DNA sequence: ATCCCGAGGG
DNA sequence: CCCTCTGGAT
């Protein structure tokens, strides 16, 4: 199944716009329960107004909230961003650390967010167990666990380490475009013949094709 | 387990 | 109206 995924999404990648680790960290916090497209709509203004950790740490809460409002959970996200920035200034000299152990100590940064930053801004192989990753690996029979850390351990034993970051992207792309939470497009899925969950969505190709969201397939 | 929260789709 | 969208903290 991993081979087919690799062939279907050869250039899967992080779809959040960013230019440095700090920008990716902020964008990833904003991406909680929100589409990347919407995050990318607000980050240009945000990054221009707050170019450094010091700028976030000293930000006016109301002004920051107004810019990120449309991403949802805006009060909690503003709290996380300001608290995270203050913590970065106090404990890491204003720099984003490149280790999981350090990243997860920041307010608003969990294991998933930390692995996104490591994998895409620092080039460290990371398994990103988000909602898509959890749903697809369970449907595929790669794991039976529900705890994200246990899922990560199961998948780590199945996939070579050098492929961890790309495999995370491919599963996420497939989850976003075809293997949806609600009505997965089983009839259009290239993994169907190998999938233990084939049939939980429409198996008629024409019906399934209607559910496939636009995106690169090669 | 529940809360945070807005926008877009069906 | 309903649901979902690359979570994290309590």
pLDDT digits (tens, 9 = 90+) for A94-128: 999 999 999 999 999 999 999 999 999 999 998 99
A195 is in an annotated binding site: yes
Q: What would the pLDDT profile of A76-89 be if each residue is shown by its tens digit?
A: 999 999 999 999 99
pLDDT, mean of residues A44-71? 95
Mean confidence (pLDDT) of chain A: 92
Q: Which bases of strand C have any atom within 7 Å of the beta carbon of a protein residue?
A: 3-9
Total residues found in chain A within this entry: 218
SS3 A86: helix
Q: Is the pLDDT of residue A218 over 80?
A: no
Q: Which bases of strand B have any atom within 7 Å of the beta carbon of a protein residue?
A: 4-7
pLDDT, mean of residues A184-195? 94
Q: Is the sign of the CA dihedral A160, A162, A164, A170 positive or negative?
A: negative
Q: Is the pLDDT of residue A145 over 70?
A: yes
**What does the longest C-alpha to C-alpha distance in chain A come to?**
57
A34 is in an annotated binding site: no
Count the helices and strands in chain A (H runs, E runs): 12, 0
- Strand nucleotide closest to residue A135 (CA to C1'): C6
> Nearest Cα to A177, choosing from A146, A209, A151?
A209
* Phi, psi torsion values for A123, nearest 5 degrees: 70, 20
SS3 A163: helix
- Position A215 scores a pLDDT of 60
């Amino acid at each position: 199944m991993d081979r087919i995924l690799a062939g279907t999404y050869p250039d899967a990648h992080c779809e959040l716009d960013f230019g440095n680790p700090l920008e990716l960290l902020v964008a990833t916090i904003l991406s909680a329960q929100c589409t990347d497209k919407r995050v990318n709509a607000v980050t240009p203004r945000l990054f221009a107004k707050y170019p450094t950790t010091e700028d976030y740490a000293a930000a006016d809460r109301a002004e920051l909230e107004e810019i990120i409002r449309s991403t949802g959970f805006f009060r909690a996200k503003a709290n996380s961003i300001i608290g995270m920035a203050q913590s970065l200034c106090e404990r890491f000299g204003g720099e984003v650390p490149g280790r999981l152990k350090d990243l997860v100590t920041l307010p608003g940064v969990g294991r998933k967010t930390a692995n996104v930053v490591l994998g895409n801004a620092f080039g460290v192989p990371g398994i990103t167990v988000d909602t898509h990753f959890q749903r697809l690996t369970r449907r595929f029979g790669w794991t039976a666990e529900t705890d994200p850390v246990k899922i990560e351990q199961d998948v780590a034993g199945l996939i070579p380490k050098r492929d961890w970051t790309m495999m995370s992207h491919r599963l996420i792309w497939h989850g976003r475009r075809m293997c949806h939470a609600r009505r997965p497009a089983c009839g259009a899925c290239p993994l169907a013949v190998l999938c233990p969950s084939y049939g939980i969505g429409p198996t008629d190709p024409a019906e399934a094709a209607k559910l496939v969201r636009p995106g690169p397939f090669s």
